Amino acid sequence: MARPYDAIIIGGGHNGLICAATLARAGRRVLVLERRHVLGGAAVSEEVFEGFTFSVCSYVVSLLRPWIIRDLDLARHGLRILPLDCSFSPLPDGRSLARWGDPERTRREIAAFSPADAEVYGEYGRTMMQMGRIVKPLIDAPAPRPTSLNPARLVEILGHARRLQALPRSLRTRFLQMMTMSAADFLDLWFESDVLKAPMSVSGIIGTYQGVRSPGTAYVLLHHYMGEIDGAFRAWGLAQGGTGAVSLAIAAAARAAGCEIRTEAPVERVLVRGGTARGVVLAGGEELYARTVVSGVDPRLTFLGLVGAEHLPAELCERMRHFKLRGSSGKVNLALDHLPEFTSRPGIGPHMHGDVAIAPSIEYLERAFDDAKYGEPSRRPYINVVIPSLSDPSVAPPGKHVMSCFVQYAPYHVNGGAETWPERRAAFGDTVLETLEEYMPGLTSAVLHRQVLTPWDLEQEFGLSEGNIFHGELSLDQLAFLRPAPGWAHYQTPVAGLWMCASGTHPGGGLMGAPGALAARAMLAEGSL
Amino acid sequence: MPVESPFHPRTAPLCESYRWKEWAGRHAVCSFGTTVDPEYLALRHACGLIDVSPLFKYEVKGPDAAALLSWIWTRDVTRLAVGAVAYGCWCDEDGKVIDDGTVARLGPERYRMTAAEPSLRWLSRQARGFDATLRDESESVAALALQGPTSRGVLRELCGSEAADLEFFRGTRARAGGLELDVTRTGYTGDLGFELWVDATDAVELWDAAVAAGADHGLAPVGLDALDITRLEAGFLLAGVDYIGARDAIIPSQTSTPFELGLGWAVHLERGPFVGRDALRREARGRSRGRSRQALVGLVADWEAIEELHERHSLPPSLPTRAWRESVPVYAAGRQVGRATSGTWSPTLKQNLALATVEAGRSAVGTRLELETTVAYERHTVPATVVERPFFDPPRKKASSGAAAEEGA
């Protein structure tokens, strides 16, 4: 029998790879097992149609922690990020709003809709940044343990409390408001123009099965103000070569540290003997052994799929059944013969180099949620479009373009059952094109190929339970010491030798990488590895 | 990308240096020529014409206009006579300065307020319950500063005697050829000078008329670099440079009160409520919690020390040709007690001047401090003395028309 590995990582997504790279750099013998033929999980680039490379699922980079980029030396391993300078919101009535990196230009654009909003926009940004400073240390460290009386833990909690206390009173009030309010209500405290509020509010609902008027969504707005590239706050970017390039850079760093990576190696279950994880069994029956097994898949798939309820406390199984996954978004990737213009701002200009939000009003967004609430995809969904080929010509043949459309809402639990999604797939794609056609006439006829991913496809193809892109909603009841379950929020599980390292753990989903790195650090600190 | 000022069609062809900067979202000329001296000399010895349109301007109108402005401002605007102008600042509830500017009473119930930062939303919020209307004139009104000892002569040719004979900080409606405009005897150079406020659509025509009227008076177009030197000589603060407005501050220690900025003279405490009054009263009484922490002072660096430092490196002392605004530490007996926020060589006074914010206990006139400086890539300090502001204050600045002061400083 081969010498057992120090660690086997299930899933070659970005968190699994970061965890693997971190362990390998600490001298551990590590194996990563990826079910698909390509690495990256949901952070993946694939040449789906000849000459056209799609960021198939995740499509922008910003929250990737700068200390991970430094620790793993990702720039040297090929990571290149192209900043997005603009957020563009076309309106059906022919007007449009573009927000730019240049604050004065943004001020003038907003002033066309509301001079008052233009004036307060910068102040809002500064306030959010200040509050982001409170939250940032929480996402760069393991979750606090509010019930622990261990002095070291109490000191941590006091540190967080002291930072909050150090804020001016007005900011503290804002912070508490933000923790409890809806995104739409919170933005109402600042702004009057719907045209501005709507595209801002959507960052509160991405990946959740909630509307912009649902309480608790304001908190997620903050995540948009924590994005950093090169240490600069509030910057979003595209990875050159698509989001998969991030995963490939991490994989290169892992391999350089001696990590072994196998693709097309689907894990069927975790080998548990005597309450302890001993290794994994692959789909073909092959057994691989390790002192530690690390799950890079979501918590429900980990516990109820790979481990099995018989090895787990009943309470945890119950929590997993109620863990809110309920995916609400889909993805449409288009290969275009040429790039049509927006009616509201003709020309192929810099406004198309950033992200384009189809979010003309708060009511539009809330109606989109209304459809989803009762089991139907939105008749007119929120769509976030990026056209990476404009900034990164490597992803499409010359003159052709790639258009990535993130679409919400597409409820996993669609009427008739999730398994009916394949029959609805074409209609879902058509709705997206019809919606975009209202802003960008001629789009449909420019489409050479399209790839439509429903939440069902995200589950079947990428292993995301219920198609949830974050391995579990980022709602307050599922964050920090509650993620994924109370008592199991520090990457360990009730099965000895089994750890978790992905978005279903603290600090959560998005292309942050923090769960993978923090899990690896926790394992190394614990000493059994 | 900045947009063009209403005077752009005239300023752009004149800007031989191609040196521009952004001012409140507008393209603004740093200096028309490649050297700043001629423009500075025009301001101090003849007359300079400066495009100051990027200033934010708000019209406040109605029966409660004065009451509203008095509620916002630290000064009691109800005392302002028709045709009078006042300089002042406004604060938040904690008595921290948000911005500074002027208010001109253009009619019985009509005022114009200027600001360095956009303030419409803030004004509108404060205007609740007042019978007053606000109008943002920032884009619709263009402004020209006509500054320098011969500016009165230029204005007499341009608008006639009523405007030219204005007293200091007074204003009037005037005509220049077929144009209607407001003229105020105000400015940012600390010298004899006027500001002309005109409908943006008439801007180019006014420029041409002013240039024609100035032909025999040494009038020259002047950019912001020369203006910066003169405003430092005058000891005027620049928002965002010498202090950070309360709404722009990221942490409370970046904010300042009017007393800390030396604007206590513009605070009228003994009157009805206004924004920040209670905090300012506490500070004025000097009670422990509210006491001023710091003070804004004028500093003059010892020239001999500068010369000696250069001599040590076998270098001749060199003079900066432009004002600087990178913060520089200020020490007392080797311990940092503040920072100089901007400064300049004054060609008129032949002194190295700076504005500095220092601990309140180090602000008395005559206090000796040390200013950090770099000579030949090495860090040093030079002794500097706290002096009265303004550094430069010619009698002609305030003198009435006809007074002999018009010719000399």
Report pLDDT digits (tens) over B256-288.
Answer: 999 999 999 999 999 999 999 999 999 998 765
Q: What is the separation of C-alpha A128 from the centre of its chain, rounded to a whole number of angstroms?
A: 20
Fold of the A5-41+63-80+241-323+484-526 domain? FAD/NAD(P)-binding domain (3.50.50)
Compute the nearest-CA separation of A232 from chain B (Å).
16
CATH 2.40.30.110 applies to domain B293-390: yes
Do residue B122 and residue A119 have CB atoms under 8 angstroms apart? yes
Measured between CA atoms, how close is A63 to chain B, in angstroms? 22
Shared fold status for B8-55+139-222 and B293-390 = no
CB pairs under 8 A between A and B: 33
Q: What per-residue confidence (pLDDT) applies to A231? A: 45
Q: Say which DSSP state A304 is in.
A: I
Distance from CA of B80 to the nearest CA of A (A): 28
In DSSP terms, A9 is beta-bridged to A32, A294
Residue type, A243: T
Residues of chain A with pLDDT under 50: 229-234
Tokens of A267: 């894990």
Nearest chain A Cα to B56, which residue? A119
Q: What is the DSSP string of B294-321?
A: EEEEEEEE-HHHHHHHHHHTT------S
Minimal Cα distance from B22: which residue of A?
Answer: A104
CB-CB under 8 Å, B3 with A108: yes
Six token digits for residue A295: 């799950």
In this prediction, residue A148 carries a pLDDT of 77
**What superfamily would CATH give domain B8-55+139-222?**
Probable tRNA modification gtpase trme; domain 1 (3.30.1360.120)
Query: C-alpha angle B256/B257/B258, rounded to 5°?
Result: 125
Residues of B with CB under 8 A from a CB of A: 1-3, 22, 24-25, 118-122, 124, 136, 247-248, 250, 252
Q: How far is A168 from chain B (nearest CA, A)?
A: 7
CB contact under 8 A, B122 and A118: no
As a whole-number percent, the residues of chain A with pLDDT over 70 amount to 97
For residue B27, what is the nearest residue in chain A, using CA coordinates?
Answer: A104
Q: How far apart are CA A342 and CA A441, in angstroms?
A: 7
What is the per-residue pLDDT across A438-497, written as a single tens digit (0 to 9) for each? 999 999 999 999 999 999 999 999 999 999 999 999 888 898 889 999 999 999 999 999
What's the token pair of residue A266? 């689907």
Does residue B174 contact residue B230 with C-beta atoms inside 8 Å? no
What does the domain layout of chain A look like in residue ranges? 5-41+63-80+241-323+484-526, 83-238, 325-465
CB B191 within 8 A of CB B396: yes
User: Which residues of chain A are within 8 Å of residue B25 when distances are taken between CB atoms?
Assistant: 104-105, 107-108
Domain ranges of chain B: 8-55+139-222, 293-390
The chain B residue lying nearest A107, using CA atoms, is: B25
Reduced to 3 states (helix: H, G, I; strand: E, B; else coil), residue B3 is: strand
Residue B129 burial by Cβ neighbours in a 10 Å radius (0-12, 13-18, 19+) = exposed
Report yes or no: A291 and A7 within 8 Å, Cβ to Cβ: yes
Q: Residues near A271 by Cβ (< 8 Å), separated by ≥ 6?
A: A277, A278, A279, A280, A281, A287, A289, A293
The CA–CA distances, whole Å, from B322 to B15, B239, B241, B325 equal 17, 19, 15, 10
Residue of A nearest to B125 (CA): A116
Which of the residues B92, B121, B139, B247 would you substitute to probe the A interface, choosing the one with the greatest number of A C-beta atoms within 10 Å?
B121
Using the Cα atoms of residue B68, residue B74, residue B79 and residue B81 in order, give the sign of their dihedral. negative
Q: pLDDT tens for residues A298-356?
A: 999 999 999 999 999 999 999 999 999 999 999 999 999 999 999 999 999 999 999 99
Q: Give the CA dihedral B160, B165, B170, B173, nearest 10 degrees.
A: -20
**Cβ–Cβ < 8 Å for B162, B175:** no
Burial class (CB in 10 A: 0-12, 13-18, 19+), A185: middle
- CATH code of the domain made up of A325-465: 3.30.519
Same-fold call for A5-41+63-80+241-323+484-526 versus A325-465: no
Dihedral angle sign, alpha carbons of residues A133, A134, A136, A141: positive
B340 close to B381: Cβ distance less than 8 angstroms: no
pLDDT under 50: residue ranges of chain B: 405-409
Q: Which residue, among A119, A163, A167, A170, would best test binding to B if mutated, counting the most B CBs under 10 Å from its CB?
A: A119
**Within 13 Å and on the Cβ side, how many CA atoms surround A445?**
5
Question: Contacts of residue B22 in chain A, CB cutoff 8 Å?
Answer: 104
Whether the bond between A409 and the residue before it is cis, its omega within 30 degrees of 0, is yes
The helix (H) or strand (E) run that includes residue A120 is helix A115-139
* From B22, B247, B248, residue closest to A104, measured CB to CB: B22
Q: Which two tokens stand for residue B323?
A: 């004002």
